[in-house]
Amino acid sequence: LTVSGGSGAVFVTGCNLHCAFCQNYQISQQGLGGELTKEKFHGICMDLQEKGAENINLVTGSHHIPKIASFLEHAKSSGLKIPVAWNSSAYESTESLELLKGLVDIWLPDFKTVNPFMSKELFQAEDYPVMAKRAIRWMMENSPMKTETVVKNGEEREKMLAGVIIRHLVRPGRLDDSVLALDWLKKHADGKACISLMSQYTPVPFKG
C-alpha cells in the first residue's frame, strides 16, 4: 500500500459491529470524534495528500456510506489525486457498496469468520459470514489488481493502486475457525486478491 509516504488514515466514529476485542473501541463504540462537513473532509484529505500520504485510508465507515460517498465525490472533483482505500469489516450490503463504485480504489475488508455462531457471540451479528462473503465477492469483481513499480533506496517495490487485500485475524483458541476462513478464501479469492493473515489479537477492557 505504501513505500515511503505512509497511509493517510481517517477514522470514522461508530461502527455497525460490536466486536468484543475491538482495539479502537473508544472510536467505534464510545463516540470519540467530531462532526465533519464536506469542506472539512476535503481539507483533511488535501492536507494528508500535501504532506506526502500515498493514499486516503478510510477506516470503519460502513454505517455512513451515503454521506462518505458524497464527501469523496466532492474531494475527488476538488483536487484529491491519491488513491482512496476502504478499510472495513466487510459487514456491508452490495447495494451500499455500489455507492462507492468509482470513488474507492483499494478495498481492505476483514474476513473475520465463516461461523455464524461465533459472529453472533463475538460481533453481535449472526449474519456476518453471509454479508461478508457477498461484499468481498463484489469488491473483487469491481476492483482488479493494479500496481506500479516504485524505486526506494535503489530497490524496486510494487505499490498497489487498486485491488483488494482481505485480512483475517487469528484468534487464540479459534484456529479451526481460521482454517475454515482460509479454505473459503483459497476457493474464492485465489488470484483475485491479496491475503493478510494477522496475529495481533489484543484483549481490551471493552466488551461488545
Which segments of the chain are extended strands (E)? 8-11, 56-59, 84-88, 106-109, 146-152, 155-169, 194-198
pLDDT band at residue 208 using 50, 70 and 90 as cut-offs: low
Indicate the pLDDT class of residue 203, thresholds 50, 70 and 90.
confident
Contacts of 174 (CB under 8 A, 6+ apart): 118
Calculate what percentage of the chain has a pLDDT beyond 90: 87
pLDDT averaged over every residue in the chain: 95
d(CA 35, CA 67): 12
Rounded mean pLDDT, 31-40: 94
pLDDT band of residue 4 (cuts 50, 70, 90) is confident
- Specify burial of residue 162 (Cβ count, 10 A radius: 0-12, 13-18, 19+): middle
pLDDT at 38: 96
R_g (Cα) of the chain, nearest Å? 17
pLDDT digits (tens, 9 = 90+) for 45-77: 999 999 999 999 999 999 999 999 999 999 999
How many other C-beta atoms are found inside a 10 Å radius of the C-beta of residue 102? Answer: 12
Q: What pTM was estimated for this model as a whole?
A: 0.94
Per-residue pLDDT tens over the stretch 151-202: 888 889 999 999 999 999 999 999 999 999 999 999 999 999 999 999 988 8
Rounded Cα–Cα distance for residues 195 and 121 (Å) = 25
